Amino acid sequence: MDARIDYFGNGLAGKVMRHLNSAAKVIDPALPTATQELVKIRASQINGCGFCTDMHTKEAVAAGETQQRLNLVAAWREATVFTDAERAALELAEQGTRIADGSTGVTDEAWASAAKFYDADELAALISLIALINAYNRINVINRQPAGDYQVGMFG
């Protein structure tokens, strides 16, 4: 399968990606790497973004994540390997990714759960991370960006 356009080689797309990547750099120090990668993986799974799922599972392994936890991300509710804080972040990520699926968007319960574990800056980072990975997912899904060839760190 080929991408619809060479998004990574396109000048305008490159400008957009630089801005998205700049936002990601602001978020990065605010949350644990494991939490960030779990959120990115779960949103990417929901959105059917193979490219981002490939990328973030590989980045998670490189950062020390276990294969068992990666295998269980899609079934995190039933898995015993995630902390309560990670569960709250995953719930927020799911609801934030599936906004159109529910009449209330993100529930007060999901927000309150996240707020038990994360301060205002960390919550701002979580909101931003969820929005950002959804933007990346949409770009890659619309473009049909192929998955499987990502190499850890290939985008710097």
DSSP class per residue in the chain: ---SS-GGG-HHHHHHHHHHHHHHHHHGGGS-HHHHHHHHHHHHHHHT-HHHHHHHHHHHHHTT--HHHHHTGGGTTT-SSS-HHHHHHHHHHHHHHTGGGSTTSS-HHHHHHHHHH--HHHHHHHHHHHHHHHHHHHHHHHHT---S---TTTT-
**What pLDDT is attached to residue 103?**
74
At residue 154 the predicted structure's pLDDT band, cuts being 50, 70 and 90, is confident
**What pLDDT is attached to residue 1?**
79
CATH of 7-143, one of 3.40.50.300, 2.40.50.840, 3.40.190.80, 1.20.1290.10: 1.20.1290.10
Looking at the predicted structure, is the pLDDT value of residue 102 above 90?
no
**What pLDDT is attached to residue 82?**
98
